[in-house]
Amino acid sequence: MDAINELPEKPRRFIFDAIKSLEENPWPGTDGDKEKLHLADTMDIYRLHIGRSYTVLYTIDKEEHLIRVHDVMTIEQAHKKYGRW
């Protein structure tokens, strides 16, 4: 999360608020900002688009009631790293 702390205050706050909103509902739905990805891994990984600038990749541990954030990056970086979804 060090990369987030280096951002200017406004985008940093926007990202933290979006991540915090996952506490209420981490599951993809009709709003279109969350999506389950179909990567080669066996684990279910989800992405959260934040505005048109950032992507958060996270997993949901149903048993522990935890959301684990694995990566926060620009959408462009995410497309380079994982391809387009």
pTM of the model: 0.85
**Number of domains making up the chain:** 1
Q: Which CATH number goes with the domain that contains 43?
A: 3.30.2310.20
More confident residue, 14 or 43: 14
The two structure tokens encoding residue 65: 């009631």
Residues sharing a CB contact under 8 Å with residue 6, sequence separation 6 or more, in sequence order: none
What residues make up the domain containing 75? Answer: 2-82
- Amino acid 31: pLDDT: 72
In this predicted structure, the answer to whether residue 82 has a pLDDT above a threshold of 80 is: no
H-only helix segments in the chain: 2-5, 9-21, 75-82
Convert the pLDDT of each residue in 17-63 to its tens digit.
999 999 999 999 877 799 998 776 668 899 999 988 999 999 999 99
